[in-house]
A = this chain, B = another copy of it.
């Protein structure tokens, strides 16, 4: 019927009139309306990466795109493309939790933590969800999300598991300056909320977008055209070669 849009069983009219974006986004992505406690936690998640910072690859990529092509849409899309294994990727921490679950078997959460740390440390792999270039002792965004989940009664097994992995890691390596970072926290909380890995990434992307969009708009409105790096230089071999030898033989077909 005209004038009716069905969003997973709810009327879009009602959602527009009565729900917050945390409600609407969770309904669209996770398929259900959040409880009031979940809504509060979702808002905190959605605000956790609001200022992803000028230094992030996502932001910088977006600004360079806007510098060459001063349009909003391509720059925002391009900035999102920088989300991957090195930044803004809670799916890797989520995978860590799933692998821990496998290794744990019938064991305790502590057993799971010991085993996953052993698996990574013994093969010299970096554990996803830990460490940050500027937040050395703790990532306050992760801490706030964990605190809130606790206060709201939403902390579950995944959060506990992630914190136990951290403890096992410190014990095993002696490194105390590698805290759980925001990606790790998002993965653990997302899993405790019943989200899949991709659904968790969805909320991370929504969180980073307003800041990214603000940077793009600033670049378009105030950036100098054709921004480029002046102190970088592509260093290769000296220009001493010539095509000469291949020249006489470029007679492609049937020559």
Contacts and interface: CB of A to CB of B under 8 A. Distances in A.
Interface of A: 2-25, 27-29, 33-37, 39-40, 42-44, 46-48, 50-51, 53-58, 60-61, 64-65, 67-78, 80-89, 91, 133-138, 140-141, 144-145, 148, 152, 196, 198-199, 201-202, 205-206, 209-211, 213-217, 220-221, 225-230, 232-234, 236-243, 246-255
Q: Report how many copies the assembly holds.
A: 4
A16 B61 contact: no
A82 to B, nearest CB: 4
14 contacts: A6-B236, A9-B236, A10-B239, A11-B239, A21-B46, A21-B206, A23-B246, A25-B50, A56-B228, A86-B226, A133-B228, A209-B209, A251-B252, A251-B255
A167 to B, nearest CB: 21
Nearest to A91: B72
Nearest to A231: B231
Contacts of A75: 81
A70 to B, nearest CB: 6
Most buried by B among A34, A35, A43: A43
B3 A140 contact: yes
Contact of A80 (B27, B47, B80, B196): B80
Given A55-B229, A57-B67, A68-B87, A16 B254 contact: no
B206 A220 contact: no
B64 A61 contact: yes
